[in-house]
Amino acid sequence: MSNETTPQRLLAAPVSTPESPALDLHEIQGDVLIGLQKNFERFVFFRIAEVAEFKSALRKRIAHRVTSTLTVKAREFQLRDHKMNGRKDPLPLVGLNVGFTNTGFKKLLASADLKDPSFDKGAAAQAPSLGDAFDGTGKLIHWKPEFLSNNIDGVFLVTGGTQAAVDEEAHHVLSILGASITVIFDETGQVRPGLEKGHEHFGWLDGVSQPGVKGLSDPFPGQRLIDPGHFVFGYPGQAGPPPLSWMNNGSFMVFRRLNQLVPEFGNFILSAAGTLGVDPVLLGARLVGRWKSGAPLALTPSQDDTTLGADPNQNNNFDFSDDQGERRCPYAAHIRKTNPRADFDQGGLSQETAVDPRRVIRAGIPFGPEVSPAEQSANTTSQERGLMFVCYQTSIPNQFEFLQISWANKPNFISDGIPPVLKKHPDGSVVKVGFDPIIGQNTVNGQPQPRTADEPVPNYPTGNVRSTLQEPQNFIVPTGGAYFFVPSIAALENELSA
Ligand code: N7H
C-alpha cells in the first residue's frame, strides 16, 4: 500500500480539472488521498482521559504538527529527487495524522452526529456482519481485548523513513499530551526488508491500483479518475446528505488488524496446485488476479512479466471487458472481486455508477516479523504477522463494508450480486463465482466455513477447463479494528478543540 517504493505515488503530479473544485490540500490530512510516506508506521490508539487538557493541547501544540496532503505532495518530489540522485538511505520525513472514533467525538463535540451508521456503531459491533468469527456469547474470538474494550477514542498515525524518527515524534506527541490521554494499544508496522519492500506478507506487490482523484491525480493509463467526494467531504461525488460543515476536508478511516497465516497459505497453495494439476505460482496468481510482481493476469495470463508489474503506465491498463468468460482472470480473484472494473457494463450499468462509488483509497502497511525457518518447516504460524489495513472513504457502509460483505463474501457475486449481472460459461451455465479466496469470509453462526472459488485452473485461451478451488480455512484472520473520522486540520484547530 502506501510506501516509498510505490511508483504511482512517487510520480503523481498535480493537475486541476475543470469538473472538480480545487482541493484544500493544506487542510486534508496527508494519509487520506496520497498516503504519508512510510517505511515505519506507529499506530497509537488512545483514550481521552482529561477532555479539557486534551483539547487545549490539541489546539495549541498538536494540530499544527499534523502533516497535510500539501506536505505529502512536496515530499513526493523530494523523495523522487533523492532516488534520482542515486541515494538509497531513507529520508526521515516524519508524518503525523490523527483520527477519532464515535466515542472520541462524543467527548470532543457532544452534539456530533457524523451521519454514518457504521461509524456510529463502531468496528467491533460491525465485525460479525463482515464475517469475523464469534463465540456463543457473541464475543469476537480472535480480536485483541483492547479493540473490544470500547476505550479507543482516537489514533495517532506516526510515520517516517526510520524507526528512530517515528519513535522520536511519537514520544514528543505523547509527552505533550501527558495524562490527558491513556494509550490503549501501540503497534508499529513496517515495510518488509530487501526485495520484499512494497510487498505484503504473502509476497505480492501492494499499492498497485488506487483510484485517481479528480483535481489531484494525473491518471496513468487505465486508472479511473474519481470524484474527490467519494474520499473527502465537501466535494462532488459525495453520497448521502451534506455533512456538518466542520466535516469538510475530512474522511472516514477504516482500520483492520488482519493477521496473515503465511506458511499455511503457502502450503495450501502447494497442495491445492498438486490436486488441481496446476503450477503453484500460477494458482497463487489466479487467486489474487496479479502475479507477485504486480503484473495483472488480465494482460499476461500465462506467465509473470516483472517489467509490466513495475510499470504504472501498464499495470492497470485493463478493465476485464475482453475477459467476460474469466479465461484470463477468475471473477473470484481478489482484485476482480474488489474492483470488477467493466464487469457490470452489461445491462446498462457502468463503472461510473456501479463501481466508482465503491472505491476506497488504501494506505495500510505490513506488521510482524518475517516468517522464521522454524515456522516455514512446520508450515505453522507461531508469531503474529499481517497487514494493518487502512482505507479512506466518505461512507463506510457503501464503500469498505460493501466491498467486504456484498462482493468479497458473496459467492454468487457477480451473477446474482448487487447489481445483478448474469455471467455465463461458454456452455451456457451460470457462473458460480465463489468467495474472494484472499479476504472472503464464509461465516455461519460465528463459525468460519470452507470456501470455494471458481476457475482456479487457467482457463486460457480456450475457456473449456472447468475447476473449483476448495479452501478449508481462512488464511486472513481479523484480530482487531476501529472506525475513525480523520478531520481537516482546521477542524482540529477550531471546532474539535474549542
Ligand atoms: Fe487487497 N493480497 O496480498 O492479496 N490486495 N488485500 N484488500 N485490495 C490488492 O492493487 C491483500 C483487503 C483491495 O483496483 C492487491 O495494490 C491482502 C481488504 C482493493 O485492482 C493485493 C489483504 C480489502 C484492491 C492485495 C488485503 C481489500 C486490492 C493487488 C489482507 C477491502 C485494489 C495489488 C491481509 C475490503 C483492486 C494492488 C484493484 C488489491 C492483497 C485486504 C481491497 C496483492 C493480503 C480488507 C480495493
Report percent pLDDT > 90 for the chain: 85
Per the structure, the count of domains in the chain is 2
Q: The C-alpha cell of 135 is what?
A: 463465540
Task: Identify the residue whose C-alpha is closest to ligand 1 atom 13.
Answer: 338
The pLDDT, as a whole number, for residue 10 is 31
Q: Are 95 and 178 part of one and the same domain? A: yes
CA geometry: angle 365, 118, 46, nearest 5 deg: 55
DSSP string for residues in 156-186: EEEEESSHHHHHHHHHHHHHHHGGGEEEEEE
Task: Identify the residue whose C-alpha is closest to ligand 1 atom 15.
Answer: 206
| pLDDT(8) > 50 | no
- Per the DSSP assignment, residues forming a β-bridge with 469 are 453
> How would residue 428 be classed by pLDDT, with cut points 50, 70 and 90?
confident
CA distance 221 to 202: 27
What is the distance of C-alpha 474 from the center of its chain?
Answer: 18
CA distance 262 to 273: 16
DSSP 8-state symbol, 122 = -
Q: Are 67 and 125 part of one and the same domain? A: yes
Q: Are 247 and 285 part of one and the same domain? A: no
| pLDDT(111) > 90 | no
Q: pLDDT tens for residues 388-418?
A: 999 999 999 999 999 999 999 999 887 655 5
| Residue 289 is assigned to a structural domain of this protein | yes
Task: Identify the residue whose C-alpha is closest to ligand 1 atom 35.
Answer: 404
Ligand 1 atom closest to residue 438's alpha carbon, by position in its atom list: 4
CA distance 51 to 57: 10
Q: Are 287 and 435 part of one and the same domain? A: yes
| Residue 12 is assigned to a structural domain of this protein | no
What is the distance of C-alpha 139 from the center of its chain?
Answer: 25
Contact in structure between 100 and 51 (CB atoms under 8 Å): no
Q: Hey, is 155 helix, strand or coil? A: strand
| pLDDT(289) > 70 | yes
| pLDDT(280) > 50 | yes
Q: pLDDT tens for residues 117-153?
A: 999 999 999 999 999 999 999 999 999 999 999 999 9
Which residue is catalytic, options 206, 227, 436, 454? 206
| pLDDT(11) > 90 | no
Q: pLDDT tens for residues 194-230?
A: 999 999 999 999 999 999 999 998 999 999 999 999 9
The pLDDT, as a whole number, for residue 3 is 40
Q: Which residue has the higher pLDDT, 417 or 178?
A: 178
Ligand 1 atom closest to residue 1's alpha carbon, by position in its atom list: 16
Say which residue the cell 505490513 belongs to: 366
Query: 449 is in which domain, residue-wise?
Result: 262-355+413-474
> Ligand 1 pocket, 288 CB below 6 A?
yes
The pLDDT, as a whole number, for residue 188 is 98
Three-class SS of 423-441: CECCCCCECCCECCCCCCC
| pLDDT(333) > 50 | yes
Task: Identify the residue whose C-alpha is closest to ligand 1 atom 27.
Answer: 338
Ligand 1 atom closest to residue 200's alpha carbon, by position in its atom list: 3
- Per the DSSP assignment, residues forming a β-bridge with 388 are 257, 365
> Ligand 1 pocket, 367 CB below 6 A?
no
CA distance 46 to 440: 30
Lowest mean pLDDT among 14-18, 310-314, 437-441: 14-18
Q: Are 239 and 127 part of one and the same domain? A: yes
Say which residue the cell 473470484 belongs to: 332
Q: Hey, is 496 helix, strand or coil? A: helix
Q: Is 206 a catalytic residue?
A: yes
| pTM for this model (two decimals) | 0.96
The pLDDT, as a whole number, for residue 348 is 72
The pLDDT, as a whole number, for residue 414 is 75
For 347, phi and psi rounded to 5 degrees?
A: 70, 30
The pLDDT, as a whole number, for residue 20 is 62
| pLDDT(421) > 80 | no
Q: The C-alpha cell of 402 is what?
A: 460493501
| Residue 198 is assigned to a structural domain of this protein | yes
Q: Are 228 and 292 part of one and the same domain? A: no
> Ligand 1 pocket, 319 CB below 6 A?
no
Give residue 52 CA to ligand 1 midpoint distance, Å: 40
Q: Are 244 and 268 part of one and the same domain? A: no
Q: Return the best residue to mutate from 129, 338, 341, 367 for the ligand 1 pocket (most ligand atoms within 8 A of CB).
A: 338
Q: Are 272 and 250 part of one and the same domain? A: no
| Residue 400 is assigned to a structural domain of this protein | no
Q: Are 435 and 323 part of one and the same domain? A: yes
298-305: Cβ within 8 A, 24+ apart: 298/323, 298/328, 298/329, 301/327, 301/328, 301/329, 301/458, 301/460, 301/461, 302/458, 302/460
Q: Are 252 and 351 part of one and the same domain? A: no
> Ligand 1 pocket, 387 CB below 6 A?
yes
Q: Are 489 and 453 part of one and the same domain? A: no
Please state, as a whole number, how many other Cβ atoms lie within 10 Å of the Cβ of residue 285: 26
The pLDDT, as a whole number, for residue 228 is 97
Residue type at position 485: F
Q: Which residue has the higher pLDDT, 3 or 257?
A: 257
| pLDDT(378) > 90 | yes
| Residue 162 is assigned to a structural domain of this protein | yes
Contact in structure between 165 and 92 (CB atoms under 8 Å): yes
Ligand 1 atom closest to residue 256's alpha carbon, by position in its atom list: 45
Q: Are 228 and 277 part of one and the same domain? A: no
> Ligand 1 pocket, 339 CB below 6 A?
yes
> Ligand 1 pocket, 204 CB below 6 A?
yes
| pLDDT(386) > 90 | yes
| Residue 376 is assigned to a structural domain of this protein | no
| Residue 381 is assigned to a structural domain of this protein | no
The pLDDT, as a whole number, for residue 5 is 34
Give residue 7 CA to ligand 1 midpoint distance, Å: 17
> Ligand 1 pocket, 260 CB below 6 A?
yes
